[in-house]
Amino acid sequence: MTLLQRVEHDPDWYEPYRISLAIKANGLIFVSGQAGIDEHGRTVGVGDFETQARQAFRNLAAVLEQGGSSLNDVVKVTIMVTDMSYLDQIVRLREEYFTAPYPADTLLRVAGLAQPDWLVEIDAIAVAG
């Protein structure tokens, strides 16, 4: 039987939507998509991809830390963007926030995200510390 453990953060910016920030199961942490939002769920840097992406990475790191892990333990990441013209910035940010060996990655262009002003969302799977 798999034991599922919810990873919590205070404040929990996804609680109003009945979404777990992350779930730990069988030695892994499955992190929900993190967007460029602050701890109160407000979008940061409206229209500014770099600001939103950096916030999404900070949110990802904070959730992983709460789960006893870190960005260094990420084995798979999915990055969703609304415009592929951000590719060069994504590559630079992946190099900044992750280290070799870099995690497996899927980059998707999507028509839209949960909020119309979101430009990027990042989810991940990491080894639990």
Q: What is the domain partition of the chain in residue ranges?
A: 4-127
Give me the pLDDT at residue 1, please. 67
Give me the pLDDT at residue 91, please. 97
Give me the pLDDT at residue 34, please. 97
Q: What is the CATH number of domain 4-127?
A: 3.30.1330.40
Per-residue b/e over 28-52, b at no fewer than 16 CB within 10 Å? bbbbbbbbbbeeeeebbeeeebeeb
Other Cβ atoms within 10 Å of 113 Cβ, number: 17
CB 52 within 8 A of CB 36: yes
| pTM given for the model | 0.95
Mean pLDDT in order along the chain per 10 residues (129 residues): 86 88 96 95 96 98 96 98 98 97 97 97 95
Give me the pLDDT at residue 129, please. 77
Tell me the three state secondary structure of residue 64. Answer: helix
